[in-house]
Amino acid sequence: MIDTPSSVSVPLKRGRDYAIRYTSLRDLPGILHDVGLRTGKCVVVTDENVGAQYRSPVRTALSSAGWIPHVITVPPGEKSKSADQLQVLYDDILEWGIDRDTPVIALGGGVVGDLAGYAAATLLRGVPVVQCPTSLIAHVDSALGGKTGINHATGKNLIGAFHQPNVVVADLDTLGTLPQREWTSGMAEVIKHAVIADADLFSFIEEHLVDVMTGRRRDLIHKMIPRAAKVKAEIVAEDEKESGRRAILNFGHTFAHAIESVAGYGTFTHGEAVAIGMRAALFLSAQRNTQAIPRENIDYVLRAIPQQHDPSELDWQDVRRAMQSDKKNKGDVVRFVLLDRLGQAYVTGDISDAALRQAWDFATRP
């Protein structure tokens, strides 16, 4: 029922379609050529962890094919999504010298993809960017869809731009060395995509729950990831700038952003917070639509994501207030994504405080 594709297409308007190519990073030069980028200078942005493993083979592959790569390595972790680190990139890249056809290659997880993607969006008012995701969350979410940006003292991702990649080069073997906690956190977004838009993918995950949670079965992973990426690609294609349907990708995220903020960023991983947020959204969905939602099945899968911290220790009033200041709100209405049924979601702003409180209690129960 679920196959192993070598490529997933992201169809955008005005002929700006791009592909997610499932292949080795060694094939990067050939793919750059396929998408019409002419050899010359290119910038590779990576972090210390990913760079230690892949900087050297990527540089060699590029140089052998006639590229002149300039590799920039940033510190790992969310703190690199800062105005200061962005300025370091600007200075380095502009002093080295680029023109409007010089591609920026983002080699790493979500942080590198967002930071390098944003630099590419804004250098010379936009240069090509090639996303090479190396974390699960980047493979199925952050490297796709063109959202780029950095954090601000007042909140995450508050400064950014939409800038679609020319191509995504997805080497699934880069996931082999991912720490377990990063893997299971990434699984939260995979499950999210299944729950909001792909009931068959949900069945697949449910059936292979233990194996996909450990990430050990290469054959399963190579089926699951392109399928999860396809959900994101299709939703983004319909709504590139997040005015409509794309909002359903925020399933679980209203609670999640609040949890991350209240607990202090880095306490819960994004995926752990999203898993809790999805349990809350699931509760609210089932409350409105008892017959249509297989609440116990979905909750069972969501609870398979291990939590390192106990969310019930967070103060509900703090979480409630933090939800109020989410940047996705329109005016004063807090927006939530709920399920109509498994595989179909919608956005609503109409939820009582009492219901939110009940959902929180449900979601923070072990």
Q: Distance between CA atoms of 123 and 129, rounded to whole angstroms?
A: 11
Give bridge partners of residue 341 from the DSSP assignment.
344
Using the minimum distance from each CB to a second copy, give the nearer residue, 52 or 94: 94
Using the minimum distance from each CB to a second copy, give the nearer residue, 29 or 149: 149
- Site size toward a second copy, by CB under 8 A: 39
Q: Is 44 exposed, middle or buried (0-12, 13-18, 19+ CB in 10 A)?
A: buried
Phi and psi angles of residue 42, each rounded to the nearest 5 degrees, phi first: -145, 155
- Using CB under 8 A as the binding rule, whether residue 99 contacts a second copy is answered as yes
Q: What is residue 170's DSSP assignment?
A: E
Site for a second copy, residues 287 to 346, rule: CB under 8 A: 325, 327-331
Q: Of 1, 3, 95, 354, which lies in the binding site for a second copy, with binding defined by CB under 8 A?
A: 95
Which listed residue (139, 227, 230, 246) is catalytic?
246
Any known ligand binding at 214?
no
**Is 125 a catalytic site residue?**
yes
Site for a second copy, residues 223 to 242, rule: CB under 8 A: 241-242
Give yes or no for a contact between 190 and 271, defined as CB atoms under 8 angstroms apart.
no
Q: Which of 112, 58, 50 is nearest to 85 (CA)?
A: 112
- Using CB under 8 A as the binding rule, whether residue 161 contacts a second copy is answered as yes
- Using CB under 8 A as the binding rule, whether residue 153 contacts a second copy is answered as yes
10 Å Cβ neighbour count for 310?
9
- Using CB under 8 A as the binding rule, whether residue 15 contacts a second copy is answered as no
- Using CB under 8 A as the binding rule, whether residue 17 contacts a second copy is answered as no
Closest CB 158 distance from a second copy, rounded Å: 6
- Using CB under 8 A as the binding rule, whether residue 357 contacts a second copy is answered as no
Any known ligand binding at 113?
yes
Using the minimum distance from each CB to a second copy, give the nearer residue, 139 or 147: 147
Q: Of 1, 3, 15, 125, which lies in the binding site for a second copy, with binding defined by CB under 8 A?
A: 125
- Using CB under 8 A as the binding rule, whether residue 36 contacts a second copy is answered as no
Q: Distance between CA atoms of 230 and 227, rounded to whole angstroms?
A: 5
Stretch that binds a second copy, among 46-54, 151-159, 178-186, 189-197 (CB under 8 A): 151-159
Give yes or no for a contact between 67 and 29, defined as CB atoms under 8 angstroms apart.
yes
- Vertex 265, ends 261 and 271: CA angle to 5°? 90
**Is 320 a catalytic site residue?**
no
Using the minimum distance from each CB to a second copy, give the nearer residue, 264 or 331: 331
| Neighbouring C-alpha atoms within 13 Å toward the C-beta of 309 | 18
Using the minimum distance from each CB to a second copy, give the nearer residue, 119 or 275: 119
**Is 139 a catalytic site residue?**
no
Q: Treating both helix axes as pointing N-terminal to C-terminal, what angle do 270-288 and 253-263 enclose, rounded to 10 degrees?
A: 140
CA distances from 334 to 101, 148, 237, 275, 286 (A): 41, 23, 25, 19, 19
| Structure-block tokens of residue 346 | 């919608």
Q: Is the dihedral of CA 302, 304, 305, 309 positive or negative?
A: positive
In the complex, which residues of this chain contact a second copy (CB under 8 A)? 13-14, 40, 83, 87, 90-91, 94-95, 97, 99-101, 121-126, 147, 149, 152-155, 157-162, 241-242, 325, 327-331
Residue numbers annotated as active site: 125, 147, 189, 232, 242, 246, 250, 253, 257, 270
Name the binding residues for Zn(2+): 189, 253, 270
